Amino acid sequence: MVSRLNPCIPIDFPSKELEEVVSKAKDWALMHGACMRSKIQFSSDTLQFAPFVLIPSTFPRHQFEKALNIQPIVNELIHSVANNHEFLQKSLAVTITVDPFTAELYKIYETVKAEGCSQVS
């Protein structure tokens, strides 16, 4: 079941024009890497679009406030993980052997760590 939020603005497009806008948005998403392979029905020949919206939609205030309240905790978690070399090394050991993108990111991390650079607080 897909839940949908009501749009903030009315959609006054004729059906054919809306289909054209959606088609162009999908092309843009495809060309800019906003696609992924399904984990449920994996096929190396098939991509699905990551969810995106074309027009603004309402967002329940309660849900927004929940996200605001949890964000400092998420920030602390990310900071702790990013600064735990042993954890990153063990967690990414297999991934960096099979995923070139992650391997390159890890090389950058290792270089920064070796050179003693740190993020500005």
Instruction: Report the candidate in 61, 36, 59, 63 with the shortest Cα–Cα distance to residue 47.
Output: 36
For the cut 70, the answer to whether the pLDDT of residue 90 exceeds it is yes
Residues 6+ apart with CB under 8 A from 47: 30, 35, 36, 37
Please give the full DSSP string across 10-55, using - where no structure is assigned. Answer: -----HHHHHHHHHHHHHHHHHTT-EE--SSS--TT--EEPP--SS
In angstroms, the first-to-last Cα distance of the chain is 42
| Distance (Å, whole) CA 64 – CA 94 | 36
Quick one: tokens of 25? 């948005």
Q: Note the pLDDT of residue 47.
A: 86
| Distance (Å, whole) CA 75 – CA 53 | 26
Look over the chain and give the mean of its residue pLDDT values, rounded to a whole number: 86
User: Where are the domains positioned within the chain?
Assistant: 15-49, 61-115
Write the pLDDT tens digit of every residue in 24-83.
999 999 899 888 888 888 888 888 888 888 877 788 899 999 999 999 999 999 999 988
